[in-house]
Structure 1
């Protein structure tokens, strides 16, 4: 019997695909990820299913859309009654580990979801589904190092960059005392000393960076000259939904100049390079231990960061590629296929892919699609489109409602807009093909972009009569998706008559 593969999910937080040279960035080299891509495949068109942390992570681990599992907004986490990837892997003999940021699994079964979990031992909660747990916070605190004075000082300093929209800076701490490095050391220790060598492992190595706070120690803080950092095209915000203009004002982006945005992007790049150097050590240890040739590795992020695109910063209740298009690199043992593909991928595809690669049945409620046939060189029909959801029910804030706002990008009186519940009020759905993107909002607003002619999503053609057929066709596809997406659970076991059995009986 073929040995079951180890499964390693490496996830960053709030990193757009465009930050990497692998996706066309002219500045940011990531040698470790580029080496990973050389023995695998870069999925060029990969998208989160919700542009915020916990809905994205929760849908990814259940293989089910956020609206299906009842997660309407950030900070809601997985219903313990849901079936999750680590739960199934653990039941099938995998040793499961989380090293880093969680923001998906509850700590207990006292839940805000209706109903009661009948068997707490089988609940999909953090300490039921993971055998090994080392958590990390935004900033620099990592389990096992929380009492280190230098690490605590690095963490406290980082929060001076947390409280304003464009706060950023150079952390005076040594890199060895910062969270990214410590997570790498924790991962290496797990591989070398903590894992059970008699079991295959599933490990979620989850970096809280390059999410805010935007800060890094030297040499990473000054590794990229802001003058060389590319800026996104200017968006004049004309014909765009009002929620975009609200976010633009509430994060004081109307007062931010190009030099400031370049400085923040340079720090963001430094944080990513810090992660890449850390991964180089992890990959070297895997090579040393002889694990590389039997480990499926996926690198991705939970959602993007606009980093100045569309006049916005961080994440928001919108569907631009800067928020939704994420890196997705897969290295699988024996992979012999193309180095790059434009097959559309959704993050909910990760759960069925890992299960399929491990030879474990995909649960009937899963809505993602396994990429394992593609990775094995078997017949594979790619998605025609991806769908992304966002927002809570209600009327979104309007410009006329704003009476208090930050006066400048370092004004810490109001915190960052994407942290407010109000910023996520107002449901929307996005359907995206390789050629077109349609965004529909419950408020009646909409966006339509010709991605071939306008890849930066600057010209909204939602009301353009010349695009009426394109719009109606995408609306029809979204309707069909909505019907297909309706929850497959519970399975109908009440009807006993089965026509296939009748046909088989009469054919005897």
Structure 2
């Protein structure tokens, strides 16, 4: 292994773990990812730090708890892994098409090359207007760059590197994110949806989830699974291209997701700010540089553990981050503890609430606190062995997990103080409403 291996972070938007074959799904949505899980290091109980992009991706890139970003209007907070590696003289590049983590919010910091598919500048309103322009005026029919395009752009960058310095590459793939409308030949439904049909149906899941009928729900799932199948093929192609360039053996490669997606299991669709397993349980596969046998780890881990591992392998260990690396430079697994925490600030009528969850191997505790007062509004426990779909919340006083719940009470009390419930985006409240309106028009909740 080289002293400072290349690092490639491949994150996928809205990919829930239980729709992959490696996690027992009954469709062949992910043959390549299943093969990768079989031959590399797979963490089967990886928990995202949050349930939506605005908190989950910044946490993924920084290794910091998401309340740091919730308290900052969801803007960039230094230092991300790109900042750290750039200072360590890595070549750095990022490729994606998600406006929430674009240059408009400062996320180009630390990247030599940052292609966020927003060509109209750094102003957030202009950037979001471009997405609407692409969707409705130019009739592109897609509001994000497809995985094949992200691959092409990032591989072109790799081919352009002219020195021997190690590189950090971040690709964020949007394909499984709604509106679900896979390319021709990939849907599992009886018919392929038009762009307008996909948009209308996805918008209905946001505006009127109670009105989604069984046929529509199945159509949503069929299309979502088709998006995963398409992405899986593109990930195989990307890995093959890395292999052709001799980069697989000498790189640290991480494949994960920012959060999952819901299909009515708890009365909602897409990924609003709740903390159910459908939103938090994500895939996590790590390919270490050099030769290492495959291994499957069932102990819960956090997406916050990824940045410490990347910095460890880069020779830039960070002692101030809240969690430990997944793996140290000797290839040994590092288990921070058996409890993983996640959180999200509520929205709309729940905007003064912050939700917290603690995930163990069997128990999961959840609670809500008022941001202003810190008062606990509700709390409960799930037995995920007996109730993996979280349908029956246990009375905490009757559960065998009171110590587990106490850990969550302590953790949440220490974190809720950092969130300002009145925090607004830069600009006026009317401007914030304008952002929300435009994103909603794009089917982005």
Query: What is the TM-score when the length of structure 2 is the normalising length?
Result: 0.78
Q: How does 1:277-316 map to 2 (within 5 A)?
A: 277-316=233-272
Cα shift at 1:36:
2.5
Q: 1:77 to 1:187 in 2, by over 3 A?
A: same
Cα shift at 1:72:
4.7
Partner residue of 1:367?
Answer: 322
Q: Could you tell me how far apart the structure 1 residues matched to 2:112 and 2:392 are?
A: 49
Task: Pick one of 356, 360, 379 that aligns with 1:433.
Answer: 360
Q: Could you tell me how far apart the structure 2 residues matched to 1:365 and 1:202 are?
A: 21
Partner residue of 1:129?
Answer: 110
Partner residue of 2:201?
Answer: none
1:76 matched to 2:74: yes
Cα shift at 1:461:
0.9
Q: How does 1:40-439 map to 2 (within 5 A)?
A: 40-67=40-67, 69-72=68-71, 76-79=74-77, 82-101=78-97, 107=103, 125-136=106-117, 156-158=140-142, 179-192=146-159, 194-220=160-186, 222=187, 224-225=188-189, 251-334=207-290, 336-362=292-318, 364-373=319-328, 376-378=330-332, 380-392=334-346, 421-422=348-349, 424-439=351-366
Q: Could you tell me how far apart the structure 2 residues matched to 1:13 and 1:249 are?
A: 18
Q: Could you tell me how far apart the structure 2 residues matched to 1:346 and 1:71 are?
A: 18
> Which segment drifts farther, 28-37 or 325-334?
28-37
Partner residue of 1:121?
Answer: none
Partner residue of 1:498?
Answer: none
Deviations 1:207-260 (A, max 9, x none): 12211221122012x3x2479xxxxxxxxxxxxxxxxxxxx9974232222221
Q: 1:482 to 1:158 in 2, by over 3 A?
A: closer
Q: 1:178 to 1:135 in 2, by over 3 A?
A: closer
Q: CA RMSD in A?
A: 3.3
Cα shift at 1:382:
4.6
Task: Pick one of 466, 474, 495 that aligns with 2:398.
Answer: 466
Cα shift at 1:458:
0.6
Cα shift at 1:336:
2.8
Cα shift at 1:279:
1.5
Partner residue of 2:379?
Answer: 446
> Does the residue aligned with 2:94 lie in a helix, a strand or coil?
strand
Q: 1:178 to 1:303 in 2, by over 3 A?
A: closer
Q: Could you tell me how far apart the structure 2 residues matched to 1:191 and 1:98 are?
A: 11
Query: What is the TM-score when the length of structure 1 is the normalising length?
Result: 0.69
Q: 1:423 to 1:281 in 2, by over 3 A?
A: farther
Deviations 1:285-312 (A, max 9, x none): 1111111100111111111101232232
Q: 1:380 to 1:199 in 2, by over 3 A?
A: same
> Does the residue aligned with 1:383 lie in a helix, a strand or coil?
coil
Q: Could you tell me how far apart the structure 2 residues matched to 1:151 and 1:180 are?
A: 17
Cα shift at 1:438:
1.0
Q: Could you tell me how far apart the structure 2 residues matched to 1:20 and 1:188 are?
A: 26
Q: Is the 8 A contact 1:191 1:286 kept in 2?
A: no
> Does the residue aligned with 1:427 lie in a helix, a strand or coil?
strand
Q: Is the 8 A contact 2:19 2:25 kept in 1?
A: yes
Count of paired positions: 389
Q: Could you tell me how far apart the structure 2 residues matched to 1:358 and 1:479 are?
A: 35
Cα shift at 1:85:
0.6
Q: Could you tell me how far apart the structure 2 residues matched to 1:102 and 1:354 are?
A: 23
Q: Could you tell me how far apart the structure 1 residues matched to 2:365 and 2:357 are?
A: 6
Q: Could you tell me how far apart the structure 1 residues matched to 2:265 and 2:295 are?
A: 28
> Does the residue aligned with 1:466 lie in a helix, a strand or coil?
coil
Q: Is the 8 A contact 2:76 2:107 kept in 1?
A: no
Deviations 1:379-424 (A, max 9, x none): 63352111111115xxxxxxxxxxxxxxxxxxxxxxxxxxx64465
> Does the residue aligned with 2:174 lie in a helix, a strand or coil?
coil
Cα shift at 1:92:
0.8
Q: Is the 8 A contact 1:317 1:423 kept in 2?
A: no
Partner residue of 1:26?
Answer: 26
> Does the residue aligned with 1:215 lie in a helix, a strand or coil?
coil
Deviations 1:85-125 (A, max 9, x none): 101101111110001135565747xx9xxxxxxxxxxxxx4
Q: Could you tell me how far apart the structure 2 residues matched to 1:284 and 1:10 are?
A: 15
Cα shift at 1:71:
1.6
